């Protein structure tokens, strides 16, 4: 791929990127969220058309209009979110769209489909039963079905989009074994990831993307984690947070014996006890998907817990509505800013009203005071350094970092007693991360309670006064982030008690 | 970047419509109108050839527009204007009568659409609202003094009854969706049939006018009807009704744009998760949006009873269904409903004129009407479809306004 440029409204996702992948190798595209990795691969896969640049395959210029063209040329992509039909079998899913036929094409040949899938599965050691239904198999197995799908269609180049994001550590090991198997048989693999460790472990080459630019291709044999991290973010990674010691005050938010079950009755949050004091940042660390979202939803009033209570400033809010939570002084920076935190189609004035639409400051009875709301939007932009042409710009055309600043600004200017921040810096550029961190610390210094959920360990470790580690819905332990070692937190996040801990004295 | 993938030609096609500005949308509608006229002219010529009659398409379209307003232009003489033409005439009344009813029906559909609800049940809400208004007026009229006082009391009363009954009937599919997760498209379609059947049964079994053979209620007393004040009595059109329709349009626009409720409604329609985050009660929003929509449909029904028929009878015209097309034409914008409804009214009024003046069979006129509506509605329908499928406008055309970001 040579000099690929791809623009989106207001953003250059790929700027003159050149990438060379050798046949039969594992090439990793490393970069932060929003660095343009997926965009580049979507150009290769025919989902996007580049504005500039040329793609060559085996020395020949190619131009894919659709993914079908890419598949025909032997390029397959395994997306992060699987595209499988749950009620159909493995063999049916693999052959879907290219089914073997019998009776002159009149009927689906189930037997030869099964045989073909079994044969492929055995050749690459996939350990899959073609007759099992998708709904009955594990996530790791589903991913292997996706890989089989591309192999069945004759792919020689396989693109993996963040393949480990949804896998357990064991499944990751299994995936890496399969990766070896595939390269041994001559396949070319491209890995998209933002995880350093993985990139070092499996790659033959690592290309680092930053802000849509190729900032270097390195050999994992000679590179260090630190050098890679620096390439990724463009400067020293460890952002030190300036924070004074200060005594915590009264409980601001108390969560006790909280239980949230999913539709199948499985506990997503299991008897969680947490107290956030005034003037304290309580961090929750954990691998994504260990019940953090469910915990947050039931604390902020988007969901009613199955058991337990949530108290805000001593008042029982367990069954209170979301609006009552907002009215009683709780701010919430949601994890998914584009689905929840902002209305993408609306401009910044209208977005400044979200959550404030019943606040007397912005309304006159049933009427919205758009004048006051506009002033508020301008204040957010001004104070929180939101880069936008103006308040009438749709939030959709802002970059991720600026979108997040709008939300953080709106939620902090609400003058809350308690703020719940869920992954507040996910996918946000480095400059904005620092700013958002400072804002959270400032709130704490003003004596507000802050509940911070993040899967970034260094973030929660630096910001928190106390750090709770969650694993499979349970709080493993609450530790002092200044004293605990990375290793111990890592063990807790993996559900293991480090030796020096007697038991879970929560 | 959506995970769902649609075939590239489909994406390219829909992307064209999604990215259009308001001016472009108006230009596209104008182009669609011209195309519709050309295509239907061909149909007219072919139909004329096959039936052995020589229809002149130009003449048909001239009469269509001219006739809708009571022939202000003298088409067949040297003078441009018809002598003695007055804007207050029978054809104009018919056109505006249709327009008035369609404004209410169109608003009803548009309000629901803005909340991401597809209310196909406006017809049923209209039928029951109209019946309730007629019955209530027939019952209450004897207890109210006649004359102007009675008119001033009973007209708002009749409209209110229509709104309440239509609103309640709209609340049913709303509640079914909110609390039982029943798709409102399915339930409203079923409730339409139920409304028509129930109304027919009630009137034929209990409320029929004993002096008539047909399924029709007793007449609403004259002073409780929306009579022609400026327009002739026989025209079934009251200027008051049109004024009320325009006021309702402004009111709906105001509620959507300038109230907390309207804000919640629009956010719920755009992004349900963001509405919940902002403190809207999803279930209550669905029910109240459908209630508001149903109330507007009920008023349309009350207008039909009080203005057009002067009673309720079976065979309610499909104003509620036409309201869907009006709303689509208007891009679900309440202000846009006015010109969209007027276009429908003109087509309706004008096709009567074609029938009278040129003897073109009404079926062929209906085909022409359908062609025009189809052509004009399709670009808007594609735009809505594209939005719903999450297809983003072409970056190249949208990038102009996006400077200043990282």
CA distance A412 to A407: 8
Q: B 381-400 residues with CB below 8 A of A?
A: 395, 398-399
CB–CB contact B399 A10 (8 Å): yes
Residue of A9, A71, A366, A414 for testing the chain B interface, max B β-carbons within 10 Å = A9
Structural fold of domain A2-233: Rossmann fold (3.40.50)
B251 touches chain A (CB under 8 A): no
Which residues, 6+ apart, have CB-to-CB distance to A319 below 8 Å? A304
Q: Which residue of B has its CA nearest to A430?
A: B406
**Which has the closest alpha carbon to A441: A293, A267, A179, A240?**
A240
B261 touches chain A (CB under 8 A): yes
Q: A 306-345 residues with CB below 8 A of B?
A: 321-323, 325-326, 332, 334, 336, 339-345
Q: A 9-38 residues with CB below 8 A of B?
A: 9-11, 38
The predicted-structure confidence for A423-446, as pLDDT tens digits, reads as follows 888 767 666 788 888 889 999 999
B212 touches chain A (CB under 8 A): no
Tens-binned pLDDT, residue by residue, of chain B (406 aa): 344 556 777 777 777 777 677 777 778 878 888 888 889 889 888 888 888 777 888 888 888 888 888 777 776 666 667 777 777 778 888 899 999 999 999 999 999 999 999 999 999 999 999 999 999 999 999 998 878 888 899 999 999 999 999 999 999 999 999 999 999 999 999 999 999 999 999 999 999 888 888 899 999 998 888 887 767 656 688 889 999 999 999 999 999 999 999 999 999 998 899 999 999 998 999 999 999 999 999 999 999 999 999 999 999 999 999 999 999 888 899 999 999 999 989 988 888 888 888 878 888 888 888 888 888 888 878 887 877 777 766 544 333 333 333 3
**Which has the closest alpha carbon to A427: A450, A407, A399?**
A399
A342 closest CB neighbour out of B274, B398, B404: B274
CB–CB contact B281 A398 (8 Å): no
- Hey, is A244 helix, strand or coil? coil
A234 touches chain B (CB under 8 A): no
Contact of A163 with A175, CB cutoff 8 Å: yes
CB–CB contact B1 A393 (8 Å): no
B161: left (phi over 0), alpha (psi -120 to 50) or beta: alpha
CB–CB contact A401 B281 (8 Å): no
A368 closest CB neighbour out of B263, B398, B399: B263
pTM greater than 0.90: no
In A185-224, which residue ranges form alpha helices assigned H by DSSP?
A: 196-202
Structural fold of domain A251-342+414-493: Rossmann fold (3.40.50)
Q: Which residue of A has its CA nearest to B398?
A: A9
- What are the residue ranges spanned by the domains of chain A? 2-233, 251-342+414-493
The two three-digit tokens of residue B163, written as one number: 């709104």
CB–CB contact B277 A10 (8 Å): no
- What are the residue ranges spanned by the domains of chain B? 90-344
CA angle A313, A317, A322 (to 5 degrees): 115
The two domains A2-233 and A251-342+414-493 share their CATH topology (first three levels equal):
yes
Please classify residue A104 by burial: count the beta carbons closer than 10 Å to its beta carbon, then call 0-12 exposed, 13-18 middle and 19+ buried: exposed
Residue of A340, A342, A350, A433 for testing the chain B interface, max B β-carbons within 10 Å = A340
The predicted-structure confidence for A308-317, as pLDDT tens digits, reads as follows 999 998 889 9
CB–CB contact A387 B405 (8 Å): yes
Instruction: Tell me: ipTM over 0.85.
Output: no
CB–CB contact B5 A79 (8 Å): no
B52 touches chain A (CB under 8 A): no
Structural fold of domain B90-344: ABC transporter involved in vitamin B12 uptake, BtuC (1.10.3470)
Q: Tokens 């017809």 map to which residue?
A: B123
How many CB pairs (< 8 A) connect A and B? Answer: 119
The predicted-structure confidence for A110-154, as pLDDT tens digits, reads as follows 888 888 888 888 888 888 888 888 888 877 888 888 888 888 888
């Amino acid at each position: 791929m040579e000099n690929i440029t791809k623009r989106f409204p207001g953003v250059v996702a790929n700027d003159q990127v050149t990438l060379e992948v050798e046949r039969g190798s594992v090439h990793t595209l490393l970069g932060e969220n929003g660095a343009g990795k997926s965009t580049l691969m979507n150009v290769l896969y025919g989902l996007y058309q580049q504005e500039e640049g040329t793609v060559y395959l085996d020395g020949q210029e190619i131009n894919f209009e659709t993914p079908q063209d890419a598949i025909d040329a032997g390029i397959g992509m395994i997306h992060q979110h699987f595209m499988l039909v749950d009620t159909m079998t493995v063999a049916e899913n693999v052959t879907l769209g290219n089914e073997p036929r019998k009776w002159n094409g009149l009927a689906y040949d189930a037997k030869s489909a099964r045989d073909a899938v079994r044969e492929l599965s055995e050749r690459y050691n996939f350990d899959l039963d073609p007759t099992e239904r998708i709904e009955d198999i594990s996530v790791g197995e589903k991913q292997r079905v996706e890989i089989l799908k591309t192999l069945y269609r004759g792919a020689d180049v396989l693109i993996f989009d963040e393949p480990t994001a949804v896998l357990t550590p064991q499944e990751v090991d299994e995936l890496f074994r399969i990766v070896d198997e595939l390269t041994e048989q001559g396949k070319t693999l491209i890995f998209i990831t933002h995880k350093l460790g993985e990139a070092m472990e499996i790659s033959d080459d690592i290309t680092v993307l930053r802000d849509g630019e190729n900032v270097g291709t390195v050999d994992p044999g000679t590179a260090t984690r630190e050098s890679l991290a620096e390439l990724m973010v463009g400067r020293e990674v460890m952002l030190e947070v300036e924070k004074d010691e200060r005594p915590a005050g009264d409980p601001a938010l108390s969560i006790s014996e909280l239980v949230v079950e999913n539709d199948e009755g499985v506990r997503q949050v299991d008897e969680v006890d947490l107290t956030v004091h005034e003037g304290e940042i309580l961090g929750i660390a954990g691998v994504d998907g260990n019940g953090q979202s469910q915990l947050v939803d039931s604390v902020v009033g988007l969901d009613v817990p199955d058991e337990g209570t949530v108290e805000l400033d001593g008042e029982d809010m367990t069954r209170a509505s979301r609006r009552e939570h907002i009215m009683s002084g709780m701010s919430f920076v949601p994890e998914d800013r584009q689905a929840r935190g902002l209305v993408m189609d609306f401009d910044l004035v209208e977005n400044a009203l979200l959550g404030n639409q019943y606040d007397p400051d912005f309304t006159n009875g049933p009427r919205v005071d758009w004048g006051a709301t506009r002033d508020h939007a301008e204040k957010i932009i001004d104070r929180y350094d939101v880069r936008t042409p103006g308040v009438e710009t749709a939030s959709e055309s802002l970059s991720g970092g600026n979108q997040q600043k709008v939300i953080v600004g709106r939620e902090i200017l609400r003058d809350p007693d308690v703020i719940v921040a869920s992954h507040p810096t996910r996918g946000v550029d480095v400059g904005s991360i620092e700013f958002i961190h400072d804002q959270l610390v400032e709130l704490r210094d003003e004596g507000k309670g802050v509940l911070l959920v993040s899967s970034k360990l260094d973030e929660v470790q630096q910001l928190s006064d106390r750090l709770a580690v969650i694993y499979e819905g349970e709080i493993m332990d609450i530790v002092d982030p200044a004293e605990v070692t990375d290793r111990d937190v890592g063990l807790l996040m993996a559900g293991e008690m480090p030796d020096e801990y007697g038991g879970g004295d929560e | 970047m959506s995970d769902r993938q649609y075939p590239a030609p489909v994406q390219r096609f829909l992307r064209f419509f999604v990215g259009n500005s308001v001016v472009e949308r108006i230009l596209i509608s104008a182009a669609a109108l011209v195309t519709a006229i050309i295509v239907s002219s061909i149909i007219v010529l072919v139909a004329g050839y096959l039936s052995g009659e020589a229809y002149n398409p130009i003449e048909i379209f001239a009469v269509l527009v001219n006739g809708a307003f009571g022939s202000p232009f003298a088409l067949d003489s040297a003078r441009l204007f018809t002598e003695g033409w007055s804007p207050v005439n029978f054809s104009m009344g018919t056109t505006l009568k249709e327009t008035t009813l369609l404004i209410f029906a169109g608003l009803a559909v548009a309000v629901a659409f803005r909340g991401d609800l597809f209310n196909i049940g406006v017809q049923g809400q209209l039928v029951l609202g109209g019946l309730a208004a007629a019955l209530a007026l027939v019952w209450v009229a004897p207890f109210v003094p006649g004359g102007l006082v009675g008119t001033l009391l009973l007209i708002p009363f009749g409209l209110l009854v229509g709104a309440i009954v239509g609103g309640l009937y709209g609340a049913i599919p709303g509640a079914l969706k909110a609390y039982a997760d029943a798709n409102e498209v399915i339930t409203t379609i079923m409730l339409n049939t139920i409304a028509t059947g129930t109304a027919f049964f009630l009137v034929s079994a209990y409320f029929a006018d004993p002096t008539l053979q047909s399924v029709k209620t007793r007449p609403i007393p004259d002073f409780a009807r929306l009579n022609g004040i400026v327009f002739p009595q026989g025209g079934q059109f009251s200027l008051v009704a049109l004024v009320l329709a325009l006021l309702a349009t402004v009111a709906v626009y105001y509620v959507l744009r300038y109230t907390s409720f309207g804000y919640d409604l629009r956010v719920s329609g755009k992004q349900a998760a963001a509405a919940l985050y902002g403190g809207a009660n999803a279930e209550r929003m669905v029910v109240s949006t459908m209630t508001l929509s149903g109330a507007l449909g009920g008023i349309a029904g009350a207008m039909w009873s009080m203005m057009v028929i002067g009673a309720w009878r079976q065979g309610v015209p499909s104003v509620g269904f036409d309201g869907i097309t009006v709303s689509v034409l208007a891009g679900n914008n309440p202000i846009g409903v006015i010109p969209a409804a007027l276009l429908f009214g003109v087509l309706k009024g004008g096709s009567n004129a074609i029938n009278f003046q040129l003897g073109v069979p009404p079926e062929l006129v209906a085909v022409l009407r359908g062609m025009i509506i189809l052509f004009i509605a399709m670009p808007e329908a594609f735009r809505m479809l594209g939005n719903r499928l999450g297809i983003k406008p072409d970056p190249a055309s949208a990038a102009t306004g996006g400077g200043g970001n990282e």
